[in-house]
A and B are shown apart, each in its own frame.
Chain A
């Protein structure tokens, strides 16, 4: 008897779990579905009351309109280049600094590390004008290099990789030292490879945040040809104001590459993000 009721309550809880997950998934996925459906409608169709769920026909006009208004090929390329360079710089410089902050002794370490912590508290909007002026002075406004510029160093990356190096036991470094490695060799040969999974996490994190950066590309790069996907999409709203079918088509086009990448590498994505939670 007892067993049966246990099983019953277990079944109920399973049903509730699935119901909740499915309901949640519907809420999560619905905006995407609605985006796809709307992107195929005409403006008048999108503004009918009561609304039609499905577009009357599969329309590609909105997509060609969006493609005509934004240089998507360039925007894909710019976004990818920006992400690659930002990731390389973030990983390289942050690994070095993270290692030094975690494992080396030097005067003023705590003070210097407090600069890293402080940066994470500052809102990025206050840097936009000064950083733009630096880029303009250096003469590379409106280039891919300008897109990368604020990501040359990463306070978050430094903080995050420092955690990773802290987790490596002291003995590892001492053993390397006894083997005759100097600090640099210890770092590159022994330590850096041990943080591989954290580096992967930082890669994902940096990529996602670079991808969603909205303001900086808009300000520093003047031409649509030099925009990233996120920022280019924002200018589409300037052109089509509240013509939602075209905006939805543009959104889909802008999201597509990242979504495809995500679906292919979702294991790495999710494990990477999970890592940033730290211990």
Chain B
């Protein structure tokens, strides 16, 4: 009798479960999963035009792996991640630590650092392009240099990374700051008595204590960086001579699929990108066991 009652309750719970996840799951299936399956299928096809596909097996992948532009785009994307994730997170952490110190106008500083977050990316990239302008840009004028920030293939990616870091620093700093504020003061006091210096304290207390927040921030930043498109597209348009040294995988995907209409090879690039994101995520989750501290 009793077990029957439980099972009705369990059944009911199950029904509620399905009912409550239904809108989200159905929505995701239609809006995202189905298009992704189509993308995978298209990556094995040649796009003849207007949604007509011809199955060609692995040709798109074979061509893709032989294409130097593709490898450069992969390299650019990874380099962009290296520039934005460690450097960006380091700077954000620095800002968070400074803001966590006993300073006046903390709110004011926080407001300023967070400001780029509420600005349209189109506006952000436009003003930076103007600042970076090699001829009339204020940056070169201030320092009396002549660097072609956006058109020189050697520095253009760096310029994009600078804008990316500038845009995200406030966001990441706020995340990290909240982690810092959760650390009880007593830890520091105790270690001070033990005679630990600031630097020791940072490595012994601060870093382990905020490692979970740091991990979330890094995962989010890495995902965004691997998928970067809007920012580079707005900074470096297709006629820019530095394009091949800057374009990310998704940018290349956009040019193949949307501009050249080769949706087959474009889809192969998209699948490759998802693969990289997947691998990077798995590695992060494995790696976190080594350094993220969930004990406290």
- Which A residues form the contact surface with B (CB < 8 A)? 13, 17-18, 20-21, 24-25, 27-29, 31-32, 34-35, 38, 46-51, 93-94, 96-97, 99-101, 104-107, 109, 112, 115-116, 118-127, 129-131, 134, 149-150, 152-155, 158, 182-184, 187, 208, 211-212, 214-215, 229-231, 233-234, 237, 244, 247-248, 251-252, 254-255, 258-259, 261-263, 266, 269-270, 273-279
Contacts and interface: CB of A to CB of B under 8 A. Distances in A.
Contacts of A270: 110, 114, 174
A274 B21 contact: no
Nearest to A18: B103
B178 A106 contact: no
User: Which of B29, B36, B274 has the most C-beta atoms of chain A within 10 angstroms of its own C-beta?
Assistant: B36
B44 to A, nearest CB: 15
A192 B254 CA distance: 40
A34 B138 contact: yes
Contacts of A115: 25, 28-29, 33
Contacts of A251: 120, 122-123, 126-127
A93 B128 contact: no
A100 B121 contact: no
Contacts of A29: 112, 115
User: Which of B103, B107, B112, B119 has the most C-beta atoms of chain A within 10 angstroms of its own C-beta?
Assistant: B119
A223 to B, nearest CB: 18
B109 A131 contact: no
Interface of B: 10, 12-14, 16-18, 20-21, 23-25, 27-36, 38-39, 94-95, 98-99, 101, 103, 107, 109-124, 126-128, 130-131, 133, 135-136, 138, 141, 166, 169-171, 174-179, 198, 212-213, 216-217, 223, 227, 229-230, 234, 250, 253-254, 257, 267, 270, 273-274, 277-278, 281
B21 A155 contact: no
Given A105-B17, A230-B121, A116 B175 contact: no
A274 B177 contact: yes
Contacts of A154: 24
A149 B35 CA distance: 15
A266 B117 CA distance: 12
A278 B38 CA distance: 34
Nearest to A247: B126
A245 to B, nearest CB: 9
A127 B136 contact: no
A99 B23 CA distance: 13
A116 B27 CA distance: 11
B24 A107 contact: no
A259 B23 contact: no
Given A121-B274, A215-B230, A244 B118 contact: no
5 contacts: A38-B130, A121-B278, A131-B31, A231-B122, A251-B122
Give the dominant DSSP class at A's interface: helix
Contact of A277 (B110, B178, B281): B178
Contacts of A233: 120, 122-123, 126
Given A112-B25, A183-B13, A277-B178, A99 B20 contact: yes
B125 to A, nearest CB: 9
A158 B115 CA distance: 27
Contact of A127 (B16, B35, B107, B223): B35
Contacts of B36: 122, 126-127
A278 B179 CA distance: 9
Given A97-B25, A262-B115, 7 more contacts: A121-B278, A127-B32, A149-B31, A208-B117, A244-B130, A274-B175, A278-B216
Contacts of B234: 214, 234
A105 B94 CA distance: 43
A121 B250 CA distance: 13
A123 B27 contact: no
A123 B31 contact: no
Contacts of B103: 17-18, 21
A13 B135 CA distance: 40
B130 A248 contact: yes
Contact of B229 (A38, A123, A131, A276): A123
Contacts of A269: 114, 118
A233 B1 CA distance: 67
Contact of A104 (B17, B39, B119): B17
B15 to A, nearest CB: 8
CB-CB nearest 7 A-B residue pairs: A153-B27, A106-B17, A274-B178, A251-B123, A130-B35, A100-B20, A97-B24
Contacts of A131: 31, 35
A231 B117 CA distance: 16
B40 to A, nearest CB: 10
Given A230-B121, A234-B234, A251-B120, A21 B99 contact: yes
A24 B95 contact: yes
Contacts of A24: 95, 98, 109, 113
Contacts of A21: 95, 98-99, 103, 109
A97 B21 contact: yes
Contact of A120 (B25, B27, B121, B223): B223
